[in-house]
Amino acid sequence: YEIDEGPKTGVAKINFVGNREFTSAELRGVIVTKQSRWWKFFSSNSNYDPDRLEYDRELLRQEYARHGYADFQVVSAVAELTPDRKNFFITFTVDEGPKYTVGEVRVKTSLAKLDERVLENFVPIKPGQTFDGDKVEKAVESITFATGATGYAFVDVNPRLDRNVETKTVDITFQVNEGPRVYVERVNIKGNTRTLDKVIRREVRIAEGDAFNRVLVDRSRSRIRALGYFGEVNIEEKPGSAPDRTELDVSVEERSTGSFSVGVGVSSTENFIVDFSIEERNLMGRGQFLRFRTQVSSRTRQVDIRFTQPYFLDRNLAAGFSIFNQRTDYKESGFVRDRIGFGLNAGFQISEYGRGNLQYLFTRDNVQIDTPANVPVPLGDDLGLYFLPGVTPTLVGEQPTYELYQSSFCNVIANQLTPTCESQGKFITSLVGYTISFDKRDDPIDTTRGWRASFGQSVAGLGGDVNYWRTELSGAYYHPLIGKFVGALKMRAGYIDGYGGDTVRLSDRFFEGASTFRGFEVAGVGPRYIQRGAGLNSNGEIVSQSIGGKIYAIGSAEVLLPLPLPKEYGIRTSAFADFGTVGLVDEQTKALNEDLNFWVDPEGDGIFIKPVQDDLSLRLSAGVTVSWDSPFGPVRFDFANVFIKEDYDRVESFRFSAGTSF
């Protein structure tokens, strides 16, 4: 036989008859089949396919059901060949029926332990709303999960629609009955070409032989997704060896867990800051975390190694350690810190959704002040009145009544009480702390609803030279809005204070900005110190040093914006508003404002201002964040505008970061 297939036939035109609610153009956007156009040569949806027409029928029904047309039906879908026999004309004849609103909504059940009124709270449908078929399906899922959480693993939820054509209302009754008992016969793990089976199985909350429970199945999927090792996670049911037996197929799609990343930031006062790190979050498929990081930039040189075993000795106990050596130039605060140390941590489960973590940290710091100071010395005065013993300042200028000498900032006697000089020197920190966290988000990656919260405290003073206690907490709440929009409220707060006569050193205070408070530079929001002799920088801002705060409270309101792009593209956009405050210096630092000798005249106009600028006032910024999981790694853009700030704050309007994965 000789078979000549001939060219594929396209779709010349798609027509709709009987549609009043939607235009034909709108309905063509709903269905999968598309009209042939020359620029669609990559698409197969413009080729005629009779099986696809059946799927289009269902899509049209769902679209009309979402807008109140419960009686909608496709009367016919006819495909006619064009005279030249190269394409088809497709005509959908539809009967929209009346548009319904919701009448009464009830939940009925014969199961003794279930409260019908409580179950009605899980129904996202209210009387008077336009009927929505999608909400009916979501209500069935919500009631099923709610009954499962109360101990009923076997239930059937059947929605009954009672239409009243005269009033154009539909009463909805969800009938909850006991379903057939089904047990899990086997759990199959598929698609894990690299990750060991046991790494996945230990996250599955339902075991072979257990009663089937849809809540536990959904929780298992969320826990496996939370590992971050897989792009897609699906759990499907299939018949077992008997009618009351079922098998669960856990299918995963391995993703890159190793990464080589580079981050780049742009601000009004910094050049590009480049950060390199190499990490593997699933070492040899065992679920172990290993990171080697080195950072070289205009402000940081750092090397650190971190390792975590999530199931130490095959128990639900995480154990890990870190070793680090870093040198950080806090240009905004006028000092350089060399730090070397190590940390130990242990994590444990305290509930299905909660974890605890214990930490010990040992560090040795060497803080050096790298800020120069110009000191006018009246002619004939002894330099020993202005500089520390043994210091030889450099003569940089001469005037009729005084000479101008330059030396390191902390070599000046008058600067000894400043917050910068108080923090210089070598000291050892020995710290122990704990953190408790809870996570009830529906999905740890693409979150649409739920919440997470954490609370932690730490105490420094188990030996060493530093004594302080610190408390921090954070939380986030997610909730779906209209359509596919998702709202998120996030909050972080912290407080630190010394004890035993110690004040909080600069390097231990809270510095916020950049990614932690968008619209502000690194350490750009919060208390600042203006030294004597300071002037204005090239941007007209008073030259000052960030000295950090003992308290911060920062919130963020975000709306995750749906994009008309396939999910596989990995592009996410959100509009945000960040708000909060950073401040509160210790009494010794605040006392500098009471000594007029420390007041400064930065603009040289005879107007003196306080050297310590600290105000717990509200700051507010807003903007847009765009992130892209590109083939080369994550890319992020932050565009922000600051609406409320203090004069001494430092702002930036754009921040960019990028990385790559392997």
Strand partners, 493: 473, 553
Which of 178, 209, 228 lies at the terminal end of a domain, its last residue? 178
Note whether 343 and 416 are same-domain residues. yes
Q: What is the dihedral of CA 196, 200, 206, 212, to 10 degrees?
A: -90
Per residue in 187-202, pLDDT tens?
Answer: 999 999 889 999 999 9
Note whether 531 and 454 are same-domain residues. yes
Closest CA relative to residue 545, chosen from 397, 372, 332: 332
Question: What's the CA gap between 561 and 485, in Å, rounded?
Answer: 6
In this structure, what CATH number is given to the domain that contains residue 144?
Answer: 3.10.20.310
Highest mean pLDDT among 4-8, 164-168, 344-348, 462-466: 344-348
Which of 95, 118, 139 lies at the terminal end of a domain, its last residue? 95
How far is the CA of 560 from the CAs of 480, 575, 622, 624, 655, in angstroms?
9, 7, 14, 10, 19
- Residue matched to tokens 């730490």: 458
Q: Where are the alpha helices (DSSP H) in 178-213?
A: 197-201
Tell me whether residue 378 is in a domain: no
Closest CA relative to residue 234, chosen from 202, 193, 192: 192
Helix (H, G, I), strand (E, B) or coil at 82: coil
556-561 LR contacts (CB < 8 Å, sep 24+)? 556/488, 556/489, 556/490, 556/491, 557/487, 557/488, 557/489, 557/490, 558/487, 558/488, 558/489, 558/490, 559/481, 559/485, 559/486, 559/487, 559/488, 560/485, 560/486, 560/487, 560/488, 561/485
Note whether 583 and 462 are same-domain residues. yes
Q: Show Cβ contacts of residue 198 under 8 Å, excluding neighbours closer than 6 positions.
A: none
Note whether 248 and 268 are same-domain residues. no
Tell me whether residue 339 is in a domain: yes
Tell me whether residue 479 is in a domain: yes
More confident site: 463 or 478: 478
- Residue matched to tokens 């900005």: 513
Residue 561 pLDDT > 60: yes
Section 439-467 average pLDDT? 91
Strand partners, 1: none
Note whether 167 and 204 are same-domain residues. no
In this structure, what CATH number is given to the domain that contains residue 292?
Answer: 2.40.160.50
Helix (H, G, I), strand (E, B) or coil at 580: strand
How far is the CA of 386 from the CAs of 390, 405, 415, 417, 597, in angstroms?
12, 10, 10, 14, 13
Tell me whether residue 301 is in a domain: yes
Note whether 213 and 340 are same-domain residues. no
Name the amino acid, one letter, at 289: F
Note whether 242 and 267 are same-domain residues. no
Which of 48, 68, 95 lies at the terminal end of a domain, its last residue? 95
pLDDT of res. 272: 55
Q: Show Cβ contacts of residue 127 under 8 Å, excluding neighbours closer than 6 positions.
A: 102, 103, 104, 105
Question: What's the CA gap between 2 and 66, in Å, rounded?
Answer: 50
Per residue in 326-357, pLDDT tens?
Answer: 888 777 667 788 999 999 999 999 988 899 99
10 Å CB burial of residue 94 (0-12, 13-18, 19+) is buried
Per residue in 248-290, pLDDT tens?
Answer: 999 998 888 887 766 554 433 345 556 677 888 888 888 899 9
Q: What is the mean pLDDT of the chain?
A: 85
Structural domain including 432 reads 258-370+404-661
Section 506-516 average pLDDT? 89
Note whether 339 and 447 are same-domain residues. yes
Q: Show Cβ contacts of residue 635 under 8 Å, excluding neighbours closer than 6 positions.
A: 627, 628, 656, 657, 658, 659
Question: What's the CA gap between 546 and 649, in Å, rounded?
Answer: 9
Please report, rounded to a whole number, the percentage of residues in the chain having pLDDT higher than 90.
36
Note whether 472 and 350 are same-domain residues. yes
What DSSP line would sit under 611-651, residue for residue? SEE-----EEEEEEEEEEEETTEEEEEEEEEEEE--TT--B
10 Å CB burial of residue 11 (0-12, 13-18, 19+) is buried
Residue 457 pLDDT > 90: yes
Note whether 308 and 418 are same-domain residues. yes
Determine the distance from the C-alpha atom of residue 182 to the mean position of all C-alpha atoms in its chain, rounded to a whole number.
38
Tell me whether residue 385 is in a domain: no
Tell me whether residue 383 is in a domain: no
Note whether 195 and 148 are same-domain residues. no
Helix (H, G, I), strand (E, B) or coil at 364: strand
Tell me whether residue 379 is in a domain: no
- Residue matched to tokens 């190499």: 278
8-12, 91-95, 479-483, 487-491: least confidently modelled range: 8-12
Residue 308 pLDDT > 90: yes
What DSSP line would sit under 63-80, residue for residue? HHHTTT-TT-EEEEEEEE
Backbone angles phi, psi at 116, to 5 degrees: -60, -40
Q: How many domains does the chain have?
A: 4
pTM of the model: 0.66
Residue 362 pLDDT > 60: yes
Note whether 335 and 188 are same-domain residues. no
Tell me whether residue 1 is in a domain: no
Does residue 63 contact residue 83 with C-beta atoms inside 8 Å?
no
pLDDT of res. 644: 96
